[in-house]
Amino acid sequence: MSISGSSWLKFGLFTVGLGQSFVFVLVPPLARDLGLSEVQTSSIFAISAFAWALTSAFWGRTSDKYGRRNIAVLGLVGYSISLIALITPLFLVERNILDVVYLFPALVLGRLLNGLVGSASRPASFAYIADTSSKEKRTVKFARLEASFLVGTVVGPLIGGFLFLITNETPFYVFSFLALIAAFGIYKEVNNTSIKKDDAKNTIKIKWYSKTILPFLAYAAVLSLCQASLIQSIGFYITDLFREFDDLPTLISMTFALLSISTIVSQYLFTDTFPMKNFNLLLFGTLLLVFSYSTMAFFQSISVYYLSIIILGFGFGMTRPALASSLSLAQSPENQGSAAGYLGSVIPIGHMTTPFIAMPIYAINPSYLYYFSSILCIGLILFIIFHPTIRKSSLI
């Protein structure tokens, strides 16, 4: 029995999730043990995120011309190579084969490859789903694709931790190989959908500032900041507020697991089992975010904190697929790749701006950061209700 093309795309994003989560778990401590500072280590990921933001829209437009399949395959191959390029310098320095002075630029180049080429797989995959799904099924299809990536981020540290017992490099080689398998499966089973030449000539090309694009990018940028500031502050927040607990790393790991699992459950619950319109998903999902951030800031206890994390996951699970679906529904069929690419370019903005916007607020008082996020989400609620483009495209 052959595997469908959409299943191969889901598997592809699953493999990306595997490596993405494990990279954040393992690379920073290894790099620090070999002499890199925290600033240098964080710069490796910041540079990659910046490259991702710059290239994602380009890959979306390129998939319009050369086909979703080809660009999705290219992105997975680039991601696979980037995993090997990232771990190899650490491997060589650890064994005194490469001088430590070359470690930082080598890691930057390795991770940069993921930002430049690995960024191609996501917009191409979402554009393919948009090409092949009906408007009524668009949200649930996007949710399932997004859930595949999230499942990878959950099990990545678990599988990677087991493989790590063999050697430090084994998880990276295995995850890289799985991505290549996904790329081969996509190439064999996915139709290479693209814009027909006649359609392309008659299509008005969209820009990031087009009226059917900019409102969604604005919402996505604010949501990205709220999510990234949470993720980057979790370790600090638990250490600062719950230092009386013995095993803080376990508390931090449980937080990430609960956030990812609740997001996955929410996506399947509200887009599949009990489907809701995109407008309701955006509105009620953002309301959950307001409640969660406010509760986390006001009630500083470990039980309330975990409950807030679970509710946050439900909020993100409702808003992310609804946003992607609403943006897609607001575009003509010929602009699906470009739209997916523009949305992909906004996703890293939160991680790029958190050190300059969110962390200074956290430094004043940890609670202030979450009050700040809740205020931003209140603004998003008003934006959802009153902006005509979002309201119109989200009512489906």
Domain boundaries defined on the chain: 5-189, 214-394
The dotted CATH code for 214-394 is 1.20.1250.20
Distance CA 350, CA 81 (A): 26
Q: Which two tokens stand for residue 143?
A: 């949710």
> Are domains 5-189 and 214-394 of this chain identical in fold?
yes
CA triple 43-169-355, angle to 5 deg:
15
Distance CA 271, CA 314 (A): 12
Class of domain 5-189: mainly alpha
Sorted by sequence, the CB contacts under 8 Å of residue 29 that are 6+ apart come out as none
**pLDDT tens digits in sequence order for the chain, 396 residues long:** 456 778 899 999 999 988 887 787 677 777 777 887 766 877 888 888 889 888 998 998 899 888 999 999 999 999 999 999 988 988 898 888 888 888 889 999 998 999 999 999 999 998 898 888 888 888 888 888 888 888 887 788 778 878 888 887 888 999 999 999 999 999 998 888 766 554 555 556 778 778 888 999 999 999 999 988 888 788 778 878 887 777 776 777 778 778 888 988 898 888 777 888 889 999 999 999 999 999 998 888 888 999 999 999 999 989 988 888 888 888 887 778 888 888 888 888 887 888 788 888 888 998 999 999 999 999 999 999 998 888 776 665
